[in-house]
Amino acid sequence: MEKAMEFLTKGYNEDPTRILRGAMFDVDYDEMVIVKDIEMFSLCEHHLLPFFGRVHVAYIPKGKVIGLSKMARLVEVFARRLQVQERLTRQIADAIHEAIAPQGVGVVVEARHLCMMMRGVEKQNSSTVTSAMIGVFQNHQTRAEFLSLVKEGAGSAP
């Protein structure tokens, strides 16, 4: 059990800023970049039961982009901590915003919580969706574009 908990909470020993700074590139690109369907597993800080799902991350660069695999690594850093989904969503968005100061960042997390499925209300088919929108993603049109692109072809690459 000790080894399992060490693995499941390894995110406390990782620095999200260092991960992102290790793969930032100067570019002349100002359109939306989306990495969607990033698998995520975490532990509810209230019940120590797993929650799992998918994370969709988007940003509009302003001179810098982040290596695509670093998005998945960033999600992993924050997911591998005792968490609540709302904070996880915000931490991912804030880390990207702080690292590259883009025009905006959008993050959507869709998850199923075993604390709701196994205990309490015992609702097997419930899911929770959270979002964090920064900068231009607070604009209705940008938000709508992001959400439609996430929904489009959900779960599979074109």
DSSP-derived letter for residue 127 is: -
Judge contact between 38 and 56, C-beta under 8 A: yes
Determine which one of 14, 97, 103, 115 is catalytic: 115
Is residue 140 part of the annotated active site? The answer reads no
Catalytic residue among 56, 85, 91, 110: 85
- The DSSP H or E segment spanning 35 is strand 33-44
Q: Is 103 labeled as catalytic in the residue annotation?
A: no
Q: Which residue in 76, 83, 110, 113 is the catalytic one? A: 113
Residue 85 among the catalytic residues = yes
Does the annotation mark 138 as catalytic? no
Cβ distance 129 to 112 under 8 Å? no
The residue annotated as part of the active site, out of 47, 97, 103, 145, is 47
44 is catalytic: yes
Active site residue: 45, 86, 98, 138, which one? Answer: 45
Identify whether 56 is a catalytic site residue.
no
Give the β-pairing of 33-44 and 82-83.
Answer: parallel
**Whether the Cβ atoms of residue 50 and residue 83 lie closer than 8 Å to each other:** no
Catalytic residue selected from 44, 56, 83, 91: 44
Report how far residue 52's alpha carbon sits from residue 158's, in angstroms, rounded to the nearest whole number.
24
Catalytic (active site) residue 91? no
Please identify which of the residues 39, 46, 86, 98 carries the catalytic annotation. 46
Active site residues: 44-47, 85, 113, 115
